[in-house]
């Protein structure tokens, strides 16, 4: 799929919502039905997050998903999402080591999957990467606070910025990402007050996930809000459905019907003209 970034027009639509004080709704999606659901439900922007590593591919951490794996999912979402921007998440190892690698990876998400922007984690050494991708004409969304790509142990998913120095560093990182040219910044798992301080300081939209209610928008992982999956949820997740239980129940009921031969019934199959059937029988 070759589709040039609509980013230049589409990411500012987030800024327009921010200016009108309308909270931005960002949700992740990883496949065609998920993309259709996100758009039909009225989301403003879809992130094809590297959280796909956990939610869809069953890896233990987000560090294990590759660009090629994420591109397959991103293309499916792009086929589904027609009228709102989609953001490709640059996975671990696809941008950190050089500006050239960062730009090449970002270009793949735009050229091969039709993304309107890319997201990457961290500030500091990543600021030149942001500048390089922006200079290449691709909008970038930053990500501060809890950075899942840096987490290597289960206890690493705790909140960030609860101590003074770490909180100051996160606020400074968010500002530095804005200065480097980010079109928006995601802030993950920080005290609500720190989320508020960041939103007050930045002029670009700040999209929170576990960062309180004062940010310019919220993002949640599709599988988390739908209850589509098992395991412990982060404190900031609100579940709006119990998809896993719903689906297990449906498949269980179908299995019972198969085993009792009540599936399929006469209406759930195809008929044949009795004369034709007789002829088939005769010639066997």
Catalytic annotation, residues:
188
Q: Min. distance of Cβ 66 from ligand KIV in angstroms? A: 14
Q: Min. distance of Cβ 185 from ligand KIV in angstroms? A: 11
**Among 50, 112, 116, 216, interactor with ligand KIV by CB under 6 A:** 50
Residues 89-128 contacting ligand KIV, CB under 6 A: 89
Residue 51 touches ligand KIV, criterion: CB under 6 A: yes
Pairing of strands 184-188, 206-209: parallel
Confirm if 106 and 118 have CB atoms less than 8 A apart. yes
Q: Min. distance of Cβ 88 from ligand KIV in angstroms? A: 11
- Name which of 46, 58, 124 is nearest 85 in CA terms: 46
Which of 228/253 has CB closer to ligand KIV? 228
Which of 49/195 has CB closer to ligand KIV? 49
Q: How many CA atoms lie within 13 A of 189 on its CB side?
A: 13
Distance CA 259, CA 280 (A): 29
Write the binding mask 189 to 228 for ligand KIV: x where contact by CB under 6 A, - elsewhere.
--------------------x---------x-x-------
Residue 28 touches ligand KIV, criterion: CB under 6 A: yes
- Contacts of 283 by beta carbon, 8 Å cutoff, 6+ apart: none
247 phi/psi in degrees, rounded to 5: -75, -40
Residue 31 touches ligand KIV, criterion: CB under 6 A: no
CB atoms within 10 A of CB 16: 11
Tell me how many residues contact ligand KIV (CB under 6 A).
11
CB atoms within 10 A of CB 30: 27
**Contact window for ligand KIV (CB under 6 A) among 35-43, 48-56, 172-180, 195-203:** 48-56
Which of 45/110 has CB closer to ligand KIV? 45
Q: Min. distance of Cβ 265 from ligand KIV in angstroms? A: 42
Beta strands in 16-114 (DSSP E): 24-28, 45-48, 86-89
Distance CA 29, CA 74 (A): 8
Which residue ranges make up the site for ligand KIV (CB under 6 A)?
Answer: 28, 47, 49-51, 89, 186, 188, 209, 219, 221
């Amino acid at each position: 799929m070759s589709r040039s970034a609509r980013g230049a027009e589409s990411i500012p639509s987030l800024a327009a919502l921010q200016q009108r004080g309308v909270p931005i709704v960002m949700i992740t999606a990883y496949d065609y039905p998920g993309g259709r659901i996100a758009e039909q439900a009225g989301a403003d922007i879809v992130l094809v997050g590297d959280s796909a590593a956990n939610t869809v591919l069953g890896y233990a951490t987000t560090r294990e998903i590759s660009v090629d794996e994420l591109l397959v999912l991103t293309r499916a979402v792009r086929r589904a999402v027609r009228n709102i921007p989609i953001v490709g998440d640059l996975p671990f190892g696809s941008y950190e080591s050089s500006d050239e690698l960062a730009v090449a990876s970002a270009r793949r998400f735009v050229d091969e999957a039709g993304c309107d922007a890319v997201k990457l984690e961290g500030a500091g050494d990543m600021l030149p990467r942001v500048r390089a991708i922006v200079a290449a004409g691709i909008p970038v969304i930053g990500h501060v606070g809890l950075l899942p790509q840096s987490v290597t142990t289960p206890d690493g998913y705790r909140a960030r910025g609860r101590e003074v120095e770490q909180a100051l560093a996160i606020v400074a990182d968010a500002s530095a990402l804005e200065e480097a040219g980010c079109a928006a910044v995601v802030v993950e798992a920080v005290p609500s007050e720190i989320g508020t301080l960041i939103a007050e300081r930045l002029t670009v939209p700040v999209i929170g996930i576990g960062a309180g209610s004062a940010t310019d928008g919220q993002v949640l992982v599709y599988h988390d809000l739908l209850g589509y999956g098992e395991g412990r949820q982060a404190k900031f997740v609100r579940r709006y459905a119990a998809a896993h239980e719903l689906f297990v129940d449906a498949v269980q009921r179908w299995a019972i019907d198969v085993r009792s031969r009540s599936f399929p019934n006469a209406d759930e199959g195809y008929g044949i003209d009795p004369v034709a059937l007789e002829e088939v029988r005769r010639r066997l």
